[in-house]
Amino acid sequence: MRLSRAFLPTLKETPAEAQIVSHRLMLRAGLVRQTSAGIYAWLPAGLRVLRKVGQIVREEQDRAGAQEILMPTIQSADLWRESGRYDDYGKEMLRITDRGERDMLFGPTNEEMVTDLFKSYARSYRDLPRNLYHIQWKFRDEVRPRFGVMRGREFLMKDAYSFDLTPEAAAHSYRQMFVAYLRTFARMGLKAIPMQADTGPIGGNLSHEFIILAETGESQVYLHRDLLAFDALAEAPNYDGDLKPLMDFWTSRYAATDEKHDEAAWNAIPAEHQVSARGIEVGHIFYFGTKYSKAMGLSVAGPDGAQVIPEMGSYGIGVSRLVGALIEANHDEAGIKWPDAVAPWPAVVINLKQGDAACDALCERMYAAIPDALYDDRGERAGAKFADADLLGHPWQVVVGPRGAAAGRVELKRRATGEKLELSPEDALAKIL
Ligand code: ATP
Ligand code: MG
Ligand code: MG
Ligand code: MG
């Protein structure tokens, strides 16, 4: 993509409404634009990141055995009347009436719809286990939409739903998602810690929130320092094998949000290992047994012919929230520092003297050699080009000036570390590719 033709609107001023750094940078770098309170249009650079985040989520869901579907955003209120949640959900639900005076709603989540859908096909225990997920826009009429896409009203969520024959089998499905989540966030370069979360009426201990530590986080969390050193990508999991040891390892150290905080267990941890911090909830997994299957009449014939009500769980990831969370975790005064895995473009080629034959030729050559690169071919000052490159946070900057071009050298800057190297074009390419 050539910057001279790109739609990459950056802002010089810091938007007044943005209270936290990720929101400020998303607006300044032209990733999103608010169209109504808590509702955003995604511009080219932001959309690229959103898609990359979604793709990592998708790959790890697939690897864990979940299957992608796509359910609609608009749902019938009747489904929610079956589960009893139509009245319970309250004002966070955006309610709509169609021309036939039927009550509809913009889905805040999909337990009812997926249970109804699965019910249409599942007949026997052979149809279990199954895990179905989609990546779809949700709407929740939040009281205080804020922090940009971190707490939007319309937001992109991955939600998966598991169906199992027994509570033991459901626990295995739960562990598959637990492990998939560890890998998903780690692949984005994020340290998301699984923490005990409230299970509501079901009880037990099968609910975890995945939380990234950040000063601007909305949750207060408490954890054992060891967890920050655990490596989620250390081993490739066998999703068909016993995942209990791996999950036990991750839950062997104390980690809880406010609601589940246990002073006695906390005080038993040596002070130097206690970490009390703010955190951002990026994922939440939940086992809820037969709550929806029972209410909505889902049952299958068991091995002995008797009807069995499937055990269910649901598993959410805030895909659009993650874009903000990634910036909270990766930025400096000058702008964003995208991890390679989610960067909108891997590199930008910066031409310091547009129109200089040697500069233009070397830039074109570098631009052609780096797949999906961005080329700053605008007739702007060098300072403006550097500032935009730092703001947009491309992992690599390939800087070509007249002196270097004459000598066959480029300057390669690594955004994450600030490190700069004078290299031959070939050596620069070898580093990037
Ligand atoms: P929160 O506590 O932040 O309100 P939640 O517990 O209500 O989130 P869940 O129902 O667990 O959210 O939804 C799954 C995931 O969807 C959350 O972990 C979060 O990452 C994301 N999410 C929820 N609400 C929003 C929102 N308003 N904007 C962006 N992402 C959201
Ligand atoms: Mg909420
Ligand atoms: Mg929550
Ligand atoms: Mg939650």
Ligand (nearest to CA of 157): 1
CA of 13 to the centre of ligand 1 (A): 30
Calculate how far, in angstroms, residue 421's C-alpha sits from the geometric centre of ligand 2.
46
pLDDT digits (tens, 9 = 90+) for 388-400: 999 999 999 999 9
- For 205-252, the three-class secondary structure string (H helix, E strand, C coil) is CCEEEEEEECCCCCEEEEEEHHHHHCCCCCCCCCCCCCCHHHHHHHCC
Q: Which helix (H) or strand (E) holds 8?
A: none
Residue 270 pLDDT > 90: yes
Query: Is 200 a residue whose pLDDT tops 80?
Result: no
List of residues 6+ apart from 427 with CB closer than 8 A: none
For the cut 90, the answer to whether the pLDDT of residue 278 exceeds it is yes
Can you read off the two tokens belonging to residue 101?
């005076």
Q: Which ligand is nearest to the CA of 314?
A: 1
List pLDDT tens digits, range 2-54: 999 999 999 988 888 899 999 999 999 999 999 999 999 999 999 999 999 99
Look at ligand 1, atom 18, and give the residue with the nearest C-alpha: 283
- Report DSSP letters for 313-340, one per residue: EEEEEEHHHHHHHHHHHSEETTEE---G
Give the mean pLDDT of 287-310: 97
Res 323 pLDDT > 90: yes
Q: Is the ipTM of this complex over 0.90?
A: yes
For the segment 4-16, what is each residue's pLDDT rounded down to a tens digit? 999 999 998 888 8
- The answer to whether the CB of 261 falls within 8 A of the CB of 211 is no
- Residue 95 to residues 44, 58, 85, 87, 387, Cα–Cα distance (Å): 31, 30, 13, 11, 45
Cβ atoms of 181 and 194 closer than 8 Å: yes
User: Tens of pLDDT along 60-70?
Assistant: 999 999 999 99
Share of the chain above pLDDT 70, in %: 99
For ligand 1, what atom is nearest to the CA of residue 209?
18
Has residue 376 got a pLDDT over 90?
yes
Residue 39 has a pLDDT of 98
How far does the centroid of ligand 3 lie from the alpha carbon of residue 283, in Å? 9
Q: What is the mean pLDDT of residues 387-413?
A: 97
How many whole angstroms from 73 Cα to the centroid of ligand 2?
Answer: 18
